[in-house]
Structure 1
Amino acid sequence: MQDRCLWYDTSPEAALTLAALSEECAAEVVVIGGGITGLSTALHLAEAGVDVALIEAGEIPSGGSGRNVGLVNAGLWIPPDDILETLGQEDGERANTLLGGAPAEVFSLIERHAIDCHATHTGTLHLAHNIKGEEELARRAEQFVRRGAPVELVEDDECRQRVGTQRIRRALLDRRAGTINPAAYTRGLARAAVKAGARLFTHSPARGVTRQADDWLVSSTVGSIRAPRVVFATNAYTEDHWNQVREHFFPGHFFQVASPPLPDELAGDILPEGQGAWDTRMVLSSMRRDAEGRLILGSLGRGDGRPKPWIRCWADRIQQHYFPQLGKVDWECTWTGRIAFTPEHTLRLFEPAPGILGVAGYNGRGVTTGTVVGKGFAHYLVSGNDDLLPLPIRSYRPVRARPAWSCGYESGFTLYHTGQCLRVVT
Structure 2
Amino acid sequence: MTRPDPAQPADPDRRTRASGALLFVLLCAMGVGPLFNYGVSVSSALIIDQLGISAGQLGLVVSVVFASAAISSIYLGRLADRMSARAQLVLIFAGTAVALVVGAFAAHYWVLLFAAVLAGPAQAISNPTTNRIIIRAVPPVRRAGWIGVKQSGVQASQLFSGLFFPAVSLWLGWTGAALGAALVALGLLAYGLAVVPTPRELAARAAREARSGPGPESTTPAAPGDARAEDPDGPSADRLPATVWIFASIALLSGFGMQATNVYLPLFSMEAVGFSLVLGGVATAVSGVIGVVSRIWWGRRMSAGVKASTLLLMISAGALSGVAAFLAAGLWHLPALIWAGAALHGVTVLGANVVINAGLMQVVAPERIGAASGINSMGMYSGFALGPLVMGALRDLTGDFSIGWLVIAVMYVGCFGMALFLRAHGRRPPRPRVTPA
- TM-score, normalised relative to structure 2: 0.26
- TM-score, normalised relative to structure 1: 0.26
Higher helix share: 2
